[in-house]
Structure 1
Amino acid sequence: MKKTRLFKPALLSLAVSSAMLTGQAYSQETSAAEQAEDVEVIAVKGIRGSLIRAQAVKMDNSSIVEAISAEDIGKLPDSSIAESLARLPGMAGERVGGRTSGISVRGFKEDFTGTSLNGRELIGIGDNRGVEYDLYPAEIMTGATIYKTTDASLLVQGIGGTVDLQTVRPLAAQETLTLTGVLEQGGNDSDNPEFDNNGHRYALSFVEKFADDKIGIALAIASTESPRNERKYGVWGYGENNGALLPSGLDSQAISRVLERDTISGIFQWRPNDDLDIVVDILDIDYSDSGVIRGFIEPFELDAASLNGSGANSTGTQINSNPVLRTDPAQKDGELSTYGLNLTYHLNDSWSVELDVADSESTKRDLRGESYSGLARNGAAIADADQRTRDFIMSPDGITFTDSNGLGAFADPTMLQLAGPQPWGGGMASLADQFATDALRADGENYNYINAQDGFLNYADFEEELTTMRLETFGLVDWGMVTKVNVGVAYSDRFKSKDNKGFFATASSYPDSQAIPADYLYNGLTDLTWAGMGYVVAYDGFAPYNDGEYTLNDAGLLEPDRLGDTYEINEEVTTLFAKFDFETEVGDFFVTGNIGAQYVQTDQSSTGYIGIVGSNFKVCDADNDGAIDADCLIDIEEDYSHFLPSFNLSVEVAENRYVRFAASKTISRARIDQMKASGFVKFDQNINLIAIPNNQEAVDEYGSPWSKFQGNPRLRPLEANNFDLSFENYFENEGYLSLALFYKDLVNWTRDGNQTIDFTNDVTNEGANYFIPGFHDRTVGADGLVGPDGTTYAAGTYLTPPDTGTFSFFEDGLTGSVKGAEMTAQVPLSMLADSLEGFGLAGSATFIDAELDDGTPIAGQSDRVYSLTAYYEMNGFEIRFAATKRSEYFTYERGGSNKIEEATRSAITQVDGQISYDFEGSGIEYLEGLRISLQGSNLTDEEEETRDENGLVTLRREFGPSYLLNFNYSFY
Structure 2
Amino acid sequence: MGVSKGCLSSGRAARSPLAICIQVALATGLCAGMSSALAQDEATETEENIEVISVTGSYSRSLEQANDLKRYNTGFSDSVVATDIADFPEQNLAEALQRIPGVTIERDKGLGTRVNVRGLPTEFTHVSINGLATASGSGGRDVEFDIFASEIIQQVTIQKSPTAADEEGGIAGSVMISTARPFDYSESRFIASAEAAHNSMSGEVDPRVSFLASTTSGPWGGLASLSFATRTNRTDSNSGVDFRPLERFAARTGSAERDAQGQQAVDVVERDTGRVIDDRFDSDETSRVVFLNKAGDRIYLNDQEKWGATAALQYRPSDSFSLTLDAMLGGYNTTEDEYDAAAYSASSISTLEQIHDYDDTTLADYGIMVLTDASYTATQHEFLSKETVSDTDFSQLSLSLDWRQGPWSVSGLVGYSGASKLEDFANLKHVAFAPSRTRYTERGGETIPSQSGAGFDMYQDVEQYVFESYQVNLEEVDDDKYAAQLDITRDMRLGWLPALMDIRFGVRYTDKSKQRNFGDTLVGGPAAGDASWSNTRLLTESELEYVTDIVPGGGYRPNDINWMQPSNAYARSTFRYPGFAVDFEPGEFYRVDEEVLAGYLMANFGFDVGRVPVALNTGVRAVDTSVNSFGFHQVQNPDGSTGYTESPVSSDGSYRDFLPSLNLTAQLTDQVVLRGAASRTLMRPALTDIAYRRSVSWNEFRFSDGNPDLEPTYADQWDLGLEWYLDNGGLFAATYFEKRIEGVVRQELTGIVEDVEKLNANGTLDGYYDFDVYQPINADGSYSISGLELIAHLPFDAIHPALEGFGINSNYTMLDNSLTGASTLNIPTPPEGLADKVYNATLYFENDRFDARVSYNYKDDYVEVIERNMYPVYREGYGQVDIALGYQLSERVRLTLKGINMSDEATRGYTIDPRFPVMNEFSGRRISLGIRADI
Aligned to 2:261: none
Q: Which residue of 1 aligns with 2:689?
A: 674
**Which of the numbers 395, 408, 417 marks the counterpart of 2:441?**
395
Contact 1:184 1:962 in 2 (8 A): no
Matched residue, 1:67: 79
Equivalent residue for 1:198? 205
**Superposition pairs for residues 65-464 of structure 1, below 5 Å?**
65-71=77-83, 78-174=90-186, 175-189=188-202, 197-210=204-217, 212=218, 214-232=219-237, 233-237=239-243, 242=272, 247-300=292-345, 323-346=381-404, 348-373=405-430, 394-400=440-446, 419-420=467-468, 454-464=469-479
* Amino acid of the structure 2 residue aligned with 1:497: Q
So what's the TM-score if we normalise by structure 1? Answer: 0.77
Q: Contact conserved, 2:292 with 2:439, CA < 8 A, in 1?
A: no
Q: Secondary structure at the match of 1:51?
A: helix
- Of 481, 505, 512, which residue of structure 2 is paired with 1:466? 481
Q: Encode CA deviations 1:858-887: one digit per residue, 9 max, x unaligned.
A: 232111111211111122211111112222
Call closer, same or farther: CA 1:97–1:350 in 2, change over 3 Å. same
Count residues with an aligned counterpart.
834
Q: CA deviation at 1:667?
A: 0.8
Q: How does 1:676-755 map to 2 (within 5 A)?
A: 676-679=691-694, 709-755=704-750
In structure 2, the partner of 1:965 is: 928
**Cα distance between partner residues in 2 of 1:722 and 1:99:** 32
Q: State whether residues 730 and 794 of structure 2, in contact with CA within 8 Å, keep that contact through their aligned partners in structure 1.
A: yes
Cα separation, partners in 2 of 1:172 and 1:411, compared to 1, 3 Å = same
Code of the aligned partner of 1:110: T
Corresponding residue number in structure 2 for 1:948: 911
Distance 1:637 1:7 in 2: 56
**1:401 Cα deviation after fit:** 6.8
Segment drifting more, 74-83 vs 259-268:
74-83
Taking a change above 3 Å as real, the CA distance of residues 892 and 126 of structure 1, as seen in their structure-2 partners, is: farther
How far the C-alpha of 1:321 sits from its partner, in A, is 7.3
Q: Equivalent residue of 1:531, what SS?
A: coil
Q: Is residue 867 of structure 2 the alignment partner of residue 822 of structure 1?
A: no
Partner of 2:884: 914
Distance in 1 between the 2:22 and 2:471 partners? Answer: 55
Cα pair 1:932 1:968 within 8 Å, conserved = yes
The residue aligned with 1:54 is 66
Q: Provide the C-alpha distance between the structure 2 equivalents of 1:319 and 1:806, rounded to a whole number of angstroms.
A: 30
Question: Equivalences for 1:485-500 in 2 at 5 Å?
Answer: 485-500=503-518
Alignment of 1:928-943 (within 5 A): 928-943=891-906
Are the aligned partners of 1:278 and 1:344 in contact in 2 as well (CA < 8 Å)? yes
Q: Is the 8 A contact 1:295 1:528 kept in 2?
A: no
Whether 1:838 and 2:796 are equivalent positions in the alignment is no
| Corresponding residue of 1:513 | 537
SS in 1 for 2:317: coil
Q: Give the unaligned 5+ runs of structure 1.
A: 190-195, 379-384, 421-453, 622-628, 686-704, 760-769, 777-798, 920-926
Deviations 1:116-147 (A, max 9, x none): 11222112221211112222211111121111
8 A Cα contact 2:89 2:883, kept in partner: no
Encode CA deviations 1:7-27: one digit per residue, 9 max, x unaligned: 996956999976896442999
Distance 2:371 2:306 in 1: 45
Residue 532 of structure 1 and its aligned partner are, at CA, apart by 4.5
Counterpart of 1:35, as a letter, is: T
* Compared CA separation, residues 771 and 747, structure 1 to 2 (3 A): closer
Distance in 1 between the 2:393 and 2:500 partners? 45
Question: Per the alignment, in what secondary structure is the counterpart of residue 602 of structure 1?
Answer: strand
Matches within 5 A, 1:644-655: 644-655=659-670
User: Cα distance, 1:753 vs. partner?
Assistant: 4.2
1:502 to 498, 512, 520: 520
- The 1:457–1:616 alpha-carbon spacing in structure 2 relative to 1, beyond 3 Å, is farther
- CA–CA distance in structure 2, aligned partners of residues 418 and 551 of structure 1: 25
2:801 is aligned with what amino acid? D
The amino acid that maps onto 1:219 is A
The whole-number CA distance in structure 2 between the counterparts of 1:365 and 1:310 is 45
* Residue type of the alignment partner of 2:212: S
Whole-Å separation in 2 of the counterparts to 1:368 and 1:24: 45
- Please tell me the residue identity of whatever aligns with 1:828: P
Cα distance in 2 between the residues matched to 1:106 and 1:890: 15
What is the CA deviation profile of residues 407-428 of structure 1, one whole-angstrom value per residue up to 9, with x for unaligned ones? 7896799x586612xxxxxxxx
- Counterpart CA distance in 1 for 2:856 and 2:87 is 21
- Seen in structure 2, the aligned counterparts of structure 1 residues 393 and 681 have a Cα distance that, compared at 3 Å, is closer
Task: Write the mapping of 1:764-779 to structure 2, written as runs, cut at 5 A.
Answer: none
Say if 1:12 and 1:42, in contact at 8 Å, map to a contact too. Answer: no
In the alignment, is the contact (CA less than 8 A) between 1:529 and 1:535 conserved in 2? no
In 2, Cα distance between the equivalents of 1:831 and 1:273? Answer: 41
Q: 1:809: Cα distance to partner?
A: 4.5
Aligned residues of 1:942 and 1:958 also touching (Cα < 8 A): no
1:612-633 superposed Cα distances (whole Å, 9 cap, x missing partner): 4647989755xxxxxxx5xx11
Deviations 1:349-378 (A, max 9, x none): 321222210111111122220012357xx7
Aligned to 1:781: none
Note if contact 2:31-2:73 (Cα within 8 Å) is conserved in structure 1: no
- Residue identity opposite 1:958 in structure 2: E
Give, in whole Å, the separation in 2 of the partners of 1:917 and 1:12. 29
TM-score (norm 2): 0.80
Matched, 1:595 2:565: no
Give the SS at the match of 1:507: coil
Distance between the aligned counterparts of 2:841 and 2:150, measured in 1? 21
- Contact 1:7/1:59 (CA < 8 Å) preserved in 2? no
> 8 Å contact 2:102–2:118 — kept in the other structure?
yes
Cα contact 2:428–2:571 (8 A) shared by 1: no
Quote the Cα distance in structure 1 between the aligned partners of 2:578 and 2:877.
Answer: 43
**Is the partner of 1:139 in helix, strand or coil?**
helix
Query: How much does 1:490 deviate?
Result: 0.5
Consecutive unaligned residues of structure 2, counting only runs of 5 or more, are: 1-7, 34-38, 247-267, 274-288, 361-369, 527-531, 760-766, 823-828
Q: Deviations over 1:390-435 (max 9, x none)?
A: 9x8743423347999997896799x586612xxxxxxxxxxxxxxx
| Residue in 2 that maps onto 1:922 | none
Q: Which amino acid aligns with 1:872?
A: F
What is the Cα deviation at residue 236 of structure 1?
4.5
- 2:593 pairs with one of 565, 570, 573: 570
Which of 818, 831, 838 aligns to 1:851? It is: 818
Question: C-alpha separation between the residues in 2 aligned to 1:516 and 1:20?
Answer: 69
**1:77 and 1:138 in contact (8 A); partners too:** no
Q: Report the residue type matching 2:467 in the other structure.
A: A
Deviates more, 1:403-412 or 1:296-305: 403-412
Contact in 2 for aligned 1:815/1:853 (Cα 8 Å)? no
8 Å CA contact 1:267–1:280 kept in 2: the answer is yes
Write out aligned runs for 1:632-643 (5 A).
632-643=647-658
Distance 1:371 1:807, change over 3 A: closer
Alignment-derived partner of residue 875 in structure 1: 848
Aligned-residue sequence identity (percent) comes to 21
1:486-531 alpha-carbon deviations (Å, 9 max, x no partner): 2111000000122232222213342531566677979945655743
Given that residues 17 and 32 in structure 1 are in contact (C-alpha distance below 8 angstroms), is that contact kept between their aligned partners in structure 2? Answer: no
User: Which of 887, 911, 915 is the equivalent residue of 2:860?
Assistant: 887
